[in-house]
A = this chain, B = another copy of it.
């Protein structure tokens, strides 16, 4: 590493790990990505994994590091608690906890909790994406969609999180396509085409009749038996139904908003953009990788001012 690092930043999720070394001018000096998420780290050791990645990029010995995500869960490295909604995003860095008994300054950012008896909800990691994305939205109320294994839809007012809702879309797609009778209709686990008519049709059907969700799922199997539905269309229909149902639910709870912001990346981002556009929405697109790095950087500059 030729230039001097200012801090390191890590997004440590359930199944993925990403690390950046950031210079005083905000530039990315080095980057690491791996599949050593919390699930792996809980066995192999968080400290060992982090040290190996820091050593690989020859990070300075005393470089401080800020971390978001599942490393702060109860079953993670060190529990980082939750900020409660309504939550000011700017208050997140001040609630970071320090990992004890380590040879560098390591802080883990808290998650957000909605302690509502009827609609309890939690997030870890997405609050940091929000911190990075919110300053580009301007004021007013916005609905922010962060798709994933557990998609988050956040009702943001200025830089305050009023509330949010998690939808199990990604995880349901996975278990339904692998562990139910629909597995026979799915074929190879190939990517769903965002421009597939079968996808858009399923999005519309689920949005229109969400109460038929578990019936629409079975129609994938029946469509294979009676109408020779192809494996690609079966996958597109399953994906479209689950995403359409999620959008139907998120929109009904949103109230009046300035617009929808989609914080996503890659294929999942393309699918959600296509689904939202097919329903007549015009989401603003923010790259999720950029957002989390900007959020971690905002936290680092507050914790360790230059």
Contact = CB atoms under 8 A, between A and B. Distances in A.
Contacts of A176: 172, 175
A31 interface: no
A113 interface: yes
A2 interface: no
7 contacts: A117-B227, A121-B218, A121-B222, A165-B215, A175-B179, A209-B252, A210-B211
Contacts of A119: 215, 219
Nearest to A205: B118
Contacts of A209: 249, 252
Contacts of A213: 210, 213, 245, 249
Nearest to A248: B211
B180 A120 contact: no
A120 B150 CA distance: 30
Contacts of A245: 211, 213-214
B168 A214 contact: yes
A6 interface: no
A166 B218 contact: yes
A242 to B, nearest CB: 7
A211 B165 CA distance: 12
Contacts of A44: none
A246 interface: yes
Contacts of A26: none
Nearest to A182: B168
Given A117-B227, A223-B120, A214 B167 contact: yes
Given A168-B214, A214-B246, A222 B120 contact: yes
Contact of A180 (B114, B175, B217, B223): B175
Contacts of A217: 168, 172
Contacts of A114: 222
Interface string A193-234: 000000000000100011111110111011101110000000
